[in-house]
Amino acid sequence: MLSRSLLSLFSLSLLGLPACAATPDAKQALAAQNRGANPVATPPRNARASLSQQERFNLWKSEFIARSVRMGYDRSMVERLILPAKIEERALERDKTQPEFSKPVWSYVDNAANASRLNGGRTKLAENGEVFDAIEARYKVPRHILTSIWGLETAYGKIMGTYNPVDALATFAFEGRRTSFGEAQLYALLDLLKSGAVRQDQLIGSWAGAMGMTQFIPATFRDYAVDFDGDGNKDLWENEADALGSAAHYLSRHGWRWGEPVMTEVAVDAEFDYSLLEGSKKTVNQWTALGVRPVGGQRWSAEAGFLDAKLIAPGGHRGPKLLTFKNFDVIKKYNNSTSYAMGITVLGEALRGKSVITTDWPRNDKPLSFDDKKSMQRKLNQLGFNVGGVDGIIGPGTRKGIRAWQKSRGLPADGYIEQDLFKRLMAQ
């Protein structure tokens, strides 16, 4: 799961790779560690710095094994899991492949619901009717959303990764900025193995440690995976009932509300105040009073009026405007990305023959490069629209600053910026 959250794992600090040999003391200590000697023999910090990366990794392994055994895990189980681990270079790579242009949101959403994923999903829905009946009855999460997650995470089980997840997790745990994450995930794997719910030979995943048809990282697997078909094994790799039941269990536990909408497209009055975007939630009735209405001349049902919703317009005021509900937030618990939650909703609704977004995106807009984004942030700060740090990432804080600048210039305050508006800002 949570491939999006794992993307941020790229931003690990680059390790220096000193070619110098280890000091004799450090080598002796390492050899002692590898013989299973008492971890008291850990070399001091300065000695450790002179070890090679592989030597430091081996040292980390023996320390992790010792810690795990002290915590009560069976030594042979821990050793079987940890000793074969290899350094996963990608887990050590710094975020040096910063994309020049990040993809616009519509490219992500279009791809999520492309023809092959839609056709694949229809087939899977037809093939798994009984399983979905049982899952919906138990967890009250609809099949089209589960199918959509299945399709986006692994193309319905076709792309689940071929890696040993222990490599990346051990590498994270070993050094860098993700040590506590990596270590917690390794303990989760140990818990899983100890429970007997999975076998070590089943542990295959993405290079970054997510496993199975719904890409659960180990802690999610341990805490939310279910043996839906009741055969004694939580098989998220080969068994649709287990994988889909586990995803349903996860969404249910995070507050999915059966029968409520996820995301609805709306139209707004010409004089609508776009600075309300991304703000606090309001009931649909409150939004109606502010000039927000369903697209296509439809009306809200009486009960919909009392639902809380947030208004977003990821493509600016010329693109689709969307009210997002509690269920949208629940999807973001799966993967904390607005684009992801939109993609899941658009594909899911398409799978039941509904089109969520009817307004076209401003597809001809030219996106800002990473450097443009930094220039923009610097400029906004200079002009007194405080956006905080200059990091080239347009988050809620930067959009708030853009909206404030737009409002001060009498422009629609949608927090959205492309090359034309960027040039106008930079000319100020």
Asked if 303 is part of the footprint of Ca ion (rule: CB under 5 A), the reply reads no
Question: CA-CA distance, 426 to 386, in Å (whole number)?
Answer: 15
Question: CA-CA distance, 424 to 50, in Å (whole number)?
Answer: 53
Minimal distance, residue 363 CB to Ca ion, in Å: 44
Minimal distance, residue 138 CB to Ca ion, in Å: 14
State which residue, 223 or 231, has the beta carbon closest to Ca ion. 231
Among 242, 278, 365, 418, binds Ca ion (CB under 5 A): 242
CA distances in angstroms from 413 to 182, 392, 417, 426, listed in the order given: 41, 20, 10, 17
Beta bridge partners of 309: 282
Site string for Ca ion, 337-356 (x = CB under 5 A): --------------------
- Evaluate whether 199 touches 238 at the Cβ level (below 8 Å): no
Asked if 229 is part of the footprint of Ca ion (rule: CB under 5 A), the reply reads yes
State which residue, 200 or 428, has the beta carbon closest to Ca ion. 200
State which residue, 128 or 264, has the beta carbon closest to Ca ion. 128
State which residue, 99 or 230, has the beta carbon closest to Ca ion. 230
Q: Which stretch binds Ca ion (CB under 5 A): 67-75, 138-146, 229-237, 290-298?
A: 229-237
β-pairing, 308-312 vs 282-283, is antiparallel
Minimal distance, residue 233 CB to Ca ion, in Å: 5
Among 25, 79, 110, 227, binds Ca ion (CB under 5 A): 227
State which residue, 240 or 372, has the beta carbon closest to Ca ion. 240
Question: CA-CA distance, 401 to 92, in Å (whole number)?
Answer: 34
Provide the H-helix boundaries in 8-128: 24-34, 45-49, 53-70, 75-82, 89-92, 105-112, 115-127
Structure tokens at 41: 């023999």
Minimal distance, residue 229 CB to Ca ion, in Å: 4
Q: Which stretch binds Ca ion (CB under 5 A): 47-55, 191-199, 242-250, 369-377?
A: 242-250
- Evaluate whether 408 touches 380 at the Cβ level (below 8 Å): no
Among 223, 231, 303, 420, binds Ca ion (CB under 5 A): 231
SS3 101: strand
State which residue, 111 or 200, has the beta carbon closest to Ca ion. 200
What residue ranges bind Ca ion (CB under 5 A)? Answer: 227, 229, 231, 233, 235, 242
